[in-house]
Structure 1
Amino acid sequence: MPVTINLICGAQEDGQTILSPLIFNIDDIKKLRDVGICGILSGTLPSAAQQNIFLSVPLKLMIEEAIWLYLNGLAEFKVLRGDTAHLVKEILDRDAHNIHVVAKERLERSFELQREYKREQHRLKLERLGIISPETSNKNTSDQSQNDKLLEASLFIETPTTSNLLNNLHLNHENGINDNLLHILVSQYSNWDNFLLFQALKDKGYVLAPGGRFGGKFIAYPGDPLRYHSHMVVRDALHYKDQPLDLLELAANARLGTAVKKIWVIGAPIPTNDKLESNNIPSKKDVSFYSVEWAGFG
């Protein structure tokens, strides 16, 4: 079953709609990990901002990742039009009472289950220590009120990892708009050839992530980033025929790549007559890559 990519509509710049691809469902994030799409966790609490390793959902995808998933039939789009905060406020204003009742019932049910579990664990512990016998374990003890106070103090509130509010309510979700959303995503590109590089590397089994911190467009891992270091820094796609490669950039990036134990990679689609597929996006092309390493002076 395809995962759901939530496209959050941002402000318009130069007449174009800016879309941010986000994943809110934990199960969908697990599925993406299995196909080598890792994204970046971006969720945090404004009142208690966390460092990168403590961030949670939503998972933010690169535009290339969202397009690749859709073209391979692994994802479908769901759009939130307009200001997201305003949409959520409208929903809360309209259904505030029902949302409050459901949340309160769920919380009380959670507390009751915790109380039953903790009382049973406490009873079994006293039996093991020989303080009470199985015959008297169900009788109230003299310090029952004190035990109840300690029990209530130990209850915890679970913080959900997914949003039932967004999952259960229809927020301007229209059928048959996936192709239109794809065109909007494609239109955000200043260089469509970057996606062709992404696609070619994915076909070779690499896992890709944003490469800005190493001066490139992508960084490429041979497998899951939790198991491997990245091997390559890939620059923006280069047009071999009409785009020069600055010698200073060549030396600087080759030195940087070697310093961080990575290969600096230049890639570009092999020039051909452009053709359009049935969905009006550029067709898949063969891509060539060149790697550069710093060897030193002399």
Structure 2
Amino acid sequence: MSADDSITPQDEILQEKQKICLFLAHGNIFVWNPNDVCTLRERHRIVGTLVGCLPRLPRQNAHLGIPLQLMKEEASLLLETGVCRLIDDTKPLMSPKPAQVSCFQELRRNQHQEQIEMYREERREEMRRHLPKILEGRKAKKRKLKESQKSYEESGSTAEEEEEVSFDVESVNIPAISTDHTMVQLFTENPWREKRTEVAVEWNFPLSEQEVMRCQVFRDLWERGYFLTSGCKFGGDFLVYPGDPSRYHAFFIAICIPHHKKMAAMDVVAMGRLGSNVKKTVLICSFDTEKDSVTYTSLQWTGIG
């Protein structure tokens, strides 16, 4: 019996469900689950691009959040290696069932109550930090009150006065905050997505010769242990990093050119100057269909001549 014969249909279904879901919407690939985003980056060296606005900072575009949009080359690699499965996300969500509405409302009530307790504890902690000022303020208030009643001269000893202005933080009645002032949990992925809404779709990429070349180059560099991102802002196809882009600068600008295409000298000079200006090495990448391999030519501008 071979290893494949030992896998039952139930095992295949379970393995399929455990795959990371990629959602296809109008030709774009998105990842909505934050855990999946971390898994793709840490385990599979797939970076993608965060394109969603942050709920607490919606009026800026310097720091973005979920969803993560993948390049088509990234999606193709993940589907070929069996890491992910593709789901059609163009259909509208189904209307929630009464049980789902009730569950969501209960979740909101629990979150509201938890935030009330957190708010009260933070207020008490703030009172403890400012307790000397609170006591001093109460002393001053009592002195003013006695002066207004013309009885300050006849007041008791200092010990009695200190006892009168004692302040018990725990006994303070702190009102609850309303639901309008509580934070709301935003789901980045539908927690009640039903199986019948998860429609697997075919991935028709790559199709053209240029797309096939880009996919082959992307996969070859990825298999060599590099991280890759889009290189359009640097005039190339990919940016190639020796490690996570959050910690390293890109070493190469990968430009995909057909293997038998003739290049003008000015194009070579332009690519060399491009790499020199951004302090990176230009990597001309070609896919040789006869040898079924990717060839690389590096360009570094010396500035001589």
Question: What TM-score do the two structures reach when normalised by structure 1?
Answer: 0.73
Summarize deviations over 1:9-63 as a string: whole Å, max 9, x none.
x2xxxxxxxx21100000000100112111001113799443142x111100000
Deviation at 1:120, TM superposition (A): 4.3
Of residues 239, 243, 256, the one that matches 2:258 is 239
Does structure 1 residue 114 correspond to structure 2 residue 115?
yes
Partner letter of residue 60 of structure 2? Q
Q: Which residue of the partner structure matches residue 262 of structure 1?
A: 280
Aligned AA (2:302): A
Q: What's the secondary structure of 2:262's corresponding residue? A: coil
Please show how residues 1-298 of structure 1 align to structure 2 within 5 Å: 1-8=18-25, 10=26, 19-34=27-42, 35-44=44-53, 48-53=58-63, 55-81=64-90, 87-88=92-93, 91=94, 94-95=95-96, 101-120=102-121, 122=123, 131-132=167-168, 137=170, 141=172, 144=173, 147-148=174-175, 151-152=177-178, 155-164=181-190, 168-170=193-195, 172-174=197-199, 177=200, 181-182=202-203, 184-187=204-207, 190-236=210-256, 238-241=257-260, 243-272=261-290, 285-298=292-305
CA contact (8 A) 1:111 1:155 kept: no
Measured after TM superposition, the shift of residue 272 of structure 1 is 1.4
Q: CA deviation at 1:189?
A: 6.9
Contact kept, 8 Å, 1:267 with 1:289, in 2: the verdict is: yes
Q: 1:66-110 deviations in whole A, cap 9, x for unaligned?
A: 1111111211111124xx5xx14xx3xx33876655443322211
Q: How many pairs are equivalent? A: 251
Take 1:202 and 1:228, find their aligned partners in 2: how far apart are those partners?
A: 16
Unaligned runs of 5+ in 1: 11-18, 274-284
Q: Decide whether the 8 Å contact of 1:57 with 1:161 is kept in 2.
A: no
Secondary structure, aligned partner of 2:233: helix
The CA deviation at 1:172 is 4.0
Deviations 1:160-210 (A, max 9, x none): 251326x52346423xx56xx23x132377431111100110011110000
8 Å contact kept, 1:221–1:228 = yes
Measured on the aligned residues, the alpha-carbon RMSD in Å equals 3.0
Post-superposition offset of 1:2: 2.1
Contact residue 231 and residue 262 of structure 1 kept, 8 A: yes
Larger-gyration structure (1/2): 2
Partner amino acid for 1:259? Answer: N
1:32 is matched by which residue type in structure 2?
Answer: L
Structure 1 SS opposite 2:247 = coil
